[in-house]
């Protein structure tokens, strides 16, 4: 007897949810303005002229404008020394008008990401990368959440996808996505979590047990239909630029999941692009608003 294949599935629309969140934030900012309260202010530091980084920053500035945030852009050449960059970070840390603060990654090789990250004040760290914010995930009062995992949890919540008691399998153990996401699923989602990584043997034996499969490794097409159980929820966090003559632009953004063949087996699935991606900036805005509210109720 052949297994029944799920044919009806819901595509999780990250663009729509992120738009909803921005609308909600804009209303709160308008209310703060009317009440004479402080307007959220996001500062962004960009090093060098990397095209992808510039695009990300442009999108963040556009998002700030759309919700009524104030923003400051600081741009420096990729030859800037680590010590000089530290001085600029100290200046922003001590600027009482700045509520949220990010240093756009990646950084030039001569600058330590860890040292830079840990020198951002944790109450302004709206990327949620500092040890203080990272560790707060397992507390009863989490502070500023890592933006991409925060976005994933918000998608699950807004689509009313239950996590409590479910088996969630996370592929990818990075400090930015996989590790904090597994902690958030455990602490906030009350899920049973398995985290897999590049050293995991027989990966498919774990993925086939997942009620919720979350993938963040940057390997296009890693997850195939035979690796997913019927009716699973699949969250594809991977984004890789793949080049080829078959694409209209000469390239396309691909996720870690073979969407076409995996989707019919799922109950819910995120597309790439248009799934988790738009939620990262929405989460950044939510964190900036929260940072403002914590410092200026």
For the chain, first and last CA: distance in Å?
A: 61
Give the residue from 121, 138, 171 where a domain finishes: 121
Q: Count how many domains the chain has.
A: 2
Whether 45 is covered by a domain: the verdict is yes
Whether 44 is covered by a domain: the verdict is yes
Q: Are 196 and 246 in the same domain?
A: yes
Q: Are 81 and 39 in the same domain?
A: yes
pLDDT over 50 at 162, yes or no = yes
CATH code at 72? 3.40.50.10860
At residue 7 the predicted structure's pLDDT band, cuts being 50, 70 and 90, is low
Write out pLDDT tens, residues 108-120. 999 999 999 999 9
Whether 171 is covered by a domain: the verdict is yes
Q: Are 54 and 164 in the same domain?
A: no
Whether 19 is covered by a domain: the verdict is no
Question: Where on the phi/psi map is residue 128: left (φ > 0), alpha (ψ -120 to 50), or beta?
Answer: left
Whether 152 is covered by a domain: the verdict is yes
Paired residues of 195 in beta bridges: 170
Burial of 241 (0-12, 13-18, 19+ CB in 10 A): exposed
**CA 223 vs CA 20, 209, 238, 268: distances in Å:** 30, 14, 11, 15
Q: Are 68 and 162 in the same domain?
A: no
Residues noted as catalytic: 60, 104, 127
Write out pLDDT tens, residues 195-238. 999 999 999 999 999 999 999 999 999 999 999 999 999 999 99
Write out pLDDT tens, residues 64-95. 999 999 999 999 999 999 999 999 999 999 99
Per-residue model confidence (pLDDT) at position 278: 94
Q: Are 110 and 152 in the same domain?
A: no
Whether 262 is covered by a domain: the verdict is yes
CATH code at 160? 3.40.50.720
Average pLDDT of the segment spanning 45-55? 87
Q: Are 190 and 267 in the same domain?
A: yes
At residue 252 the predicted structure's pLDDT band, cuts being 50, 70 and 90, is confident
Q: Are 98 and 159 in the same domain?
A: no
Helix 147-158 × helix 14-34 angle, to 10°: 100
At residue 2 the predicted structure's pLDDT band, cuts being 50, 70 and 90, is very low
Q: Are 161 and 264 in the same domain?
A: yes
Q: What is the mean pLDDT of the chain?
A: 94
Indicate the length of the chain as a whole number.
297
Q: Are 169 and 105 in the same domain?
A: no
Q: Are 76 and 182 in the same domain?
A: no
Q: Are 111 and 201 in the same domain?
A: no
Q: Are 88 and 160 in the same domain?
A: no
Residues 39 and 68: beta-carbon distance below 8 Å: yes
Rounded Cα distance between 210 and 149, Å, is 18
Whether 73 is covered by a domain: the verdict is yes
Residues 283 and 150: beta-carbon distance below 8 Å: yes
Per-residue model confidence (pLDDT) at position 1: 38
∠ CA 207-8-203, nearest 5°, is: 10
Range of 57's domain? Answer: 35-121
Q: Which residue has the higher pLDDT, 50 or 149?
A: 149
Whether 196 is covered by a domain: the verdict is yes
At residue 49 the predicted structure's pLDDT band, cuts being 50, 70 and 90, is confident
């Amino acid at each position: 007897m052949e297994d029944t294949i799920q044919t009806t599935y819901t595509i999780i629309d990250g663009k729509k949810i992120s738009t909803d969140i921005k609308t909600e934030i804009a209303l709160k900012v308008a209310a703060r303005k009317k009440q004479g309260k402080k307007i959220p202010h996001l500062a962004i530091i960009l090093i060098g002229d990397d095209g992808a980084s510039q695009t990300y920053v442009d999108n963040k500035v556009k998002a700030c404008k759309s919700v009524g945030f104030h923003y400051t852009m600081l741009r420096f050449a990729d030859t800037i020394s680590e010590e000089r960059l530290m001085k600029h970070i100290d200046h922003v840390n001590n600027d009482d008008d700045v509520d949220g603060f990010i240093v756009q990654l990646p950084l030039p090789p001569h600058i330590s990401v860890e040292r830079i990250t840990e020198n951002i004040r944790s109450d302004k760290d709206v990327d949620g990368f500092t040890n203080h914010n990272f560790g707060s995930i397992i507390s009863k009062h989490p502070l500023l959440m890592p933006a991409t995992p925060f976005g994933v949890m918000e998608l699950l919540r807004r689509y009313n996808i239950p996590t409590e008691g479910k088996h969630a399998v996370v592929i990818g153990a990075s400090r930015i996505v996989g590790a904090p996401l597994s902690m958030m699923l455990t602490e906030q989602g009350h899920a049973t979590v398995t985290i897999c990584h590049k050293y995991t043997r027989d990966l498919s034996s774990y993925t086939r047990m997942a009620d919720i499969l979350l993938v963040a490794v940057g390997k296009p097409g890693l997850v195939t239909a035979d690796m997913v159980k019927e009716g699973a929820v699949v969250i594809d966090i991977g984004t890789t630029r793949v080049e080829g003559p078959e694409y209209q632009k000469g390239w396309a953004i691909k996720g870690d999941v073979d969407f076409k063949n995996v989707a019919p087996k799922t109950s819910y699935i995120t597309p790439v692009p248009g799934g988790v991606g738009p939620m990262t900036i929405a989460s950044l805005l939510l964190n900036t608003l929260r940072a403002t509210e914590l410092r200026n109720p």
